[in-house]
Copies of this chain bind each other. A is one copy, B any other.
Amino acid sequence: MNSQNIQVVLVNPSHPGNIGAVARAMKNMGLNHLVLVAPRKFPDPEAQWRAASAVDIIDNARVVETLDEAIGDSQFVVGTSARDRRIPWPVQDARLTAARIVERSVKEKVSILFGREDSGLNNEELRRCNLHCHIPTHPDYESLNLSMAVQIVCYEIRMAELEGTLPSDEDSHWENPFATSQDMEYFYQHLEETLVELEFLNPAAPKQLMTRLRRLYNRVRLDDMEVQILRGILKETRRVIREKGTN
């Protein structure tokens, strides 16, 4: 991906707050080029405030009067669209659209168009696009806030850029190595002896107690430190049992 080749184009945005929220949404996901086509109210302090630490994007936004000026040099134009159109257009969801944007941005200039808060992009604007992007909202309430739509598309671009680099393992940043099978056997032996001494486990009728405890700790995968902590507790427990025994 080349983020320098990607621009987000807001067509006739009404609320400066949305412009600010869009700037922040973009910067959070690594995009920086914002174009505003005939915004109703801009610049505006509300846009600055909502942009938070993305005011640079607001300050560097290109403000133009027409869509032609905004996308004239773009080689791949995507339009976000909520509604079904009379003439269907090539359409993809935000995830598949993002994959294409990331790929094409390497060598080509890409524009992503977002429409007005109340009515989206009009048919003429949508006809300027190579691809329409649809976010599959729930039928109970389909209409996304403008900045939310931008956030989702920018997030998908970020995810597409990161593809294959994110860990799938929930333990990938663990600070301690996980216990070995041998360590676990010593632990279970220690645990069983302690439970017998506690008279919680009756060796003559052990039932499924050790099996259940093995299932618990094997399910969680203990790390080295955790095994040490648990064995420390067992050791201390046995010490107390023995002291009590001598009373």
Which residues on A are within 8 Å of B, measured CB to CB? 21, 24-25, 27-30, 52-54, 84, 87-88, 90-93, 95-96, 131, 135-138, 140-145, 147-148, 151-152, 155, 158-159, 162, 166, 168, 170-175
Contacts and interface: CB of A to CB of B under 8 A. Distances in A.
A105 to B, nearest CB: 15
- Copies of this chain present: 2
A84 B175 CA distance: 12
Nearest to A170: B90
Contacts of A24: 141, 145, 148
B138 A88 contact: no
A206 to B, nearest CB: 29
B131 A158 contact: no
A166 B136 contact: yes
30 contacts: A21-B145, A21-B148, A24-B148, A25-B145, A25-B148, A27-B138, A27-B140, A27-B141, A28-B137, A28-B142, A28-B143, A28-B144, A30-B138, A30-B140, A52-B143, A88-B173, A88-B175, A90-B171, A92-B168, A92-B170, A93-B166, A95-B159, A136-B159, A137-B158, A138-B158, A147-B148, A151-B152, A152-B152, A152-B155, A155-B155
A57 B37 CA distance: 34
Contacts of A173: 84, 88, 91
Nearest to A53: B141
A140 B154 CA distance: 14
Nearest to A29: B138
Given A27-B138, A28-B143, A152-B155, 6 more contacts: A28-B138, A54-B141, A88-B173, A131-B170, A135-B155, A155-B155
Contacts of A159: 95, 136
